[in-house]
Amino acid sequence: MPFGNLAGVEPSPADDPARRAEIGLCVLLAVADGDVSDKEIGALSTRLGSLLGDEFPAVALGAMVDAEISKMSELGLERYVKTLVDRLPQARRAPALRGALGVAYADGLAPEEESMFRDVAKELGLDAATVDAILAEVRAGASPTRGP
């Protein structure tokens, strides 16, 4: 008999490398301007709730964010972004980037945040039209922090 789901325990959303990458992407764009505002923290909290569920323990959430920040520091930005490419499946890249931009945009989009957004989008293989559409959507007030 295959092991499958041991004892009926479902894997945690925190075990998904793509979700961890999405969290890291949110943090990466939010810190790109050197300042994480209260509005960005609120938008990050909303985004993480949509990714992991509102019942996800805050302590575990903090540990995941800290782990991604540590990975950024350890690898440097260029190598860290390459891990995002490896961890995010193609189909999840645009939605993940849209959500992360929504977090960064919570207090207005600093030039450094937009530049980081464009750089990461390029590394993720998004075409210019998609990148411009995401920026226009966020600037128009769409709510990219909803849903993965």
Q: Does the residue 63 lie in any domain?
A: yes
pLDDT in the model for residue 13: 58
- The encoded tokens of residue 13 equal 């959303």
Q: Which domain holds residue 87?
A: 15-139
The b/e string for 23-48 (b: 16+ C-beta within 10 A; e otherwise) is bbbbbbbbbbbeebeeebeebbebbb
Question: In the predicted model, is pLDDT for residue 99 greater than 90?
Answer: yes
Contact indicator for 134, 98 with CB cutoff of 8 Å: yes
Count structural domains, the chain: 1
Place of tokens 């189909």: 91
pTM for the model: 0.81
Q: Does the residue 72 lie in any domain?
A: yes
CATH number at residue 39: 1.10.3680.10
Q: Does the residue 132 lie in any domain?
A: yes
